[in-house]
Structures are given as structure tokens and as C-alpha cells.
Copies of this chain bind each other. A is one copy, B any other.
Amino acid sequence: MAEETVPSGEAFKQVIIVRRDLRLGRGKLAAQVAHASLTAYLEAARLKPEWAARWLESGQKKVVVSVANLEELLAIKLRVEEEGLPTALIEDAGLTQVEPGTITALAVGPAPEPLVDKMTRHLRLL
């Protein structure tokens, strides 16, 4: 798959974006981030296997950032998918803390770091 070949020195990264407006507890928030991270990894392993493998080998670099609300999260999802990056949008079952079906988090990548940064560097660290 020549179109997935990337320079051997290139760094890979995943960014997980969460909604500040939901004010999730620490444990709940961490579980949503983990759900997003694993689901986007599996999506990358299917669509961009070299990206997924190189990210794992290089230590699974992850950064958690935040947006103000759902609208901002969905706008980023649109732009990221136009760039062809793997994503995972997480909807919570809503048994605790939020209503069923609440969208809580979006993971972007694993993908080459410059592509991920271009889409997410304006976002605030959580």
C-alpha cells in the first residue's frame, strides 16, 4: 500500500477531544477518553494500518484537549474527516451523569503528527 508509506522519522499522534460543558467526573471522563482512543485506533488499524502500527511502536503518544460544546466538537469532526484522518465519536450509554446518547468525546488519529496538529493545535489542553 504505497500511498500509506510515510517517512521513517515521522512522528504519530492521537488527540482526544472532550466537551467541557458536560462537566464529567474524573473517572467518567477518563473512561470516555479511553473508549474514544481505542475505537479510533481500531479504525486506523482498518483504514491506515501503517499509521496504527507506527503509532503503537513509538509509544502511543496521546494528548487530551477540550472544546466548549457539542457544536464545536462536530465542526472539528467534519474538518478532520475531510482530511482523511481516522476518527471515533463516542456516544455515552448514559447510565450515570449524562442523558443516554450524549456525545462526549472525539478521537483524532493515530495519524502523522503534523496532520493532527494542523486540525487540533488551537484547542485548549484539558
**Chain A interfacial positions (CB closer than 8 Å to B):** 16, 18, 25-31, 33-39, 41-42, 56, 59-60, 62-66, 93, 125-126
Contact = CB atoms under 8 A, between A and B. Distances in A.
Contacts of A64: 26-28, 30-31, 34
Say how many copies of this protein the assembly contains: 2
A8 B27 CA distance: 29
A24 B126 CA distance: 12
A116 to B, nearest CB: 14
Contact of A30 (B33, B38, B39): B33
The 9 closest A-B pairs by CB, nearest first: A27-B126, A34-B37, A30-B33, A27-B64, A34-B34, A30-B30, A31-B62, A30-B64, A38-B38
